[in-house]
Chains A and B, each alone.
Chain A
Amino acid sequence: MELTPKVEFLGLTFDLTVMISSLLTALLVFCFAYFAARGSSRVPHRMQALLEMLLDLMRGITKMGFEDRRFADKSLVFTLTLFLYILFANQIGVMLMVSSSEPVPSLGLTENLMQEANAHGVSWLKSPTADINVPIAIAIAIALFGHILGMAYNTKAYFKGFLNPLHIIEDITRPMTHAIRLWANIFAGEIFINLLLSGGLSLGLFKGGIALGIPLIIWLGFSLFVGAVQAYVFVLLANVYTGQKLYSVH
């Protein structure tokens, strides 16, 4: 497991790795959406066709969550943005991992920190969703949004729903499992990648390359697939949970 550089500010600890990779993810999502929607025509070029396919997928997701077409149309852009953000965030840990092995005192990488770190050094770039705080923040925000929407649009059914104790338990476990599903998949995948890499380093170039290189390639391919599926499931469940707060008649 790699150490990450942390910065203290006003008593709070900020993890530089998560901040840098979150900004990079946001930049990538913006660049993808900008260049895909630019110069749109009736006969679509390649990236525009990709964006249109993604929009069709999102339309299916929102239709599964909300029965009312009004809410489904309003939720479409949010669903697309969240899906693209989580998709790119999951794949950053598979494709780009940057770490430094030399101490740089001005950035907080002192000698003590370097001696604690293992063979890989201190990592600067990993998946933002591999840190426990990011999926928890998104899941809590979506749960709060569902509550506020239910309170605004369907007040009587929303307050009557609290009489059922199962609903109260669901209100606690649903955001928790929502966040843990995304986090645990990406975190376990990254740990396994680090394990295979450091095991290959310690075994030497030839033996490590043959013995651990092929499982590493297979695991990287599987991680791409898992990242895409987890993004899809996260966004689908976000819509379903929010929709159920609106139509809580059971």
Chain B
Amino acid sequence: MDMGILAVGIMLACAAIGGAVGNAILFSKYIEGITRQPEAQPTLFGQTLLLFAIVELMPIAALGISLYLLFVRGV
């Protein structure tokens, strides 16, 4: 069993789970905000995209480091 490939697999799995749960919470709050006040939809949309980029930081960092290990360092 190659420990390097296993490590990359675990990193990618955790990044996927974390990203999915975090984004689900963010976008569900966005839709709830639209339900409460439909006129606020353009304002909330811009802020939601901005916060999406901030929430996605850690999963994307895990993705970047795992792909770096897999392809550049040849683990």
Q: Does A22 contact B (CB under 8 A)?
A: no
The main secondary structure of chain A at its interface with chain B is helix
Q: Does A229 contact B (CB under 8 A)?
A: yes
The answer to whether B67 touches A233 (Cβ under 8 A) is no
Residues on B with C-beta less than 8 A from A177 are 57
Given contacts A180-B61, A181-B60, contact A230 B53 (CB under 8 A): yes
Q: What are some 30 contacts across the A-B interface (CB < 8 A)?
A: A1-B71, A1-B72, A177-B57, A180-B57, A180-B61, A180-B64, A181-B54, A181-B61, A183-B64, A184-B60, A184-B61, A184-B63, A184-B65, A185-B56, A185-B60, A185-B64, A187-B64, A187-B67, A188-B60, A188-B63, A188-B64, A191-B67, A191-B71, A229-B49, A229-B50, A230-B53, A232-B53, A233-B53, A233-B54, A236-B50
Q: Does B68 contact A (CB under 8 A)?
A: yes
Residue of B nearest to A185 (CB): B60
- Give 1 or 0 for each of A175-194: 1 = CB within 8 Å of chain B CB: 00100110111011001000
- Give 1 or 0 for each of A3-22: 1 = CB within 8 Å of chain B CB: 00000000000000000000
B30 to chain A, nearest CB (A): 15
How distant is the Cα of A233 from the Cα of B65 in the complex, in angstroms?
21
How distant is the Cα of A232 from the Cα of B47 in the complex, in angstroms?
12
Interface residues of A (CB under 8 A from B): 1, 177, 180-181, 183-185, 187-188, 191, 229-230, 232-233, 236
Q: Does B52 contact A (CB under 8 A)?
A: yes
Residues on B with C-beta less than 8 A from A184 are 60-61, 63-65
Residue of B nearest to A184 (CB): B64
The answer to whether A188 touches B67 (Cβ under 8 A) is yes
Residues on A with C-beta less than 8 A from B67 are 187-188, 191
Residues on B with C-beta less than 8 A from A236 are 50
**Which residues of chain B from 14 to 61 have any CB-CB distance to chain A below 8 Å in the complex?**
49-50, 52-54, 56-57, 60-61
How distant is the Cα of A1 from the Cα of B72 in the complex, in angstroms?
6
How distant is the Cα of A181 from the Cα of B54 in the complex, in angstroms?
8
Instruction: With A181-B60, A229-B49, A236-B50 given, name 11 new contacts (CB 8 A).
Output: A180-B64, A181-B54, A181-B61, A183-B64, A184-B64, A185-B60, A188-B63, A191-B67, A229-B50, A232-B50, A233-B50
A50 to chain B, nearest CB (A): 18
Residues on B with C-beta less than 8 A from A230 are 53
Residue from A177, A188, A229, A230 with most neighbouring chain B CB atoms (10 Å): A188
Residues on A with C-beta less than 8 A from B64 are 180, 183-185, 187-188
How distant is the Cα of A230 from the Cα of B67 in the complex, in angstroms?
19
How distant is the Cα of A65 from the Cα of B61 in the complex, in angstroms?
25
Residue of A nearest to B63 (CB): A188
Residues on B with C-beta less than 8 A from A191 are 67, 71
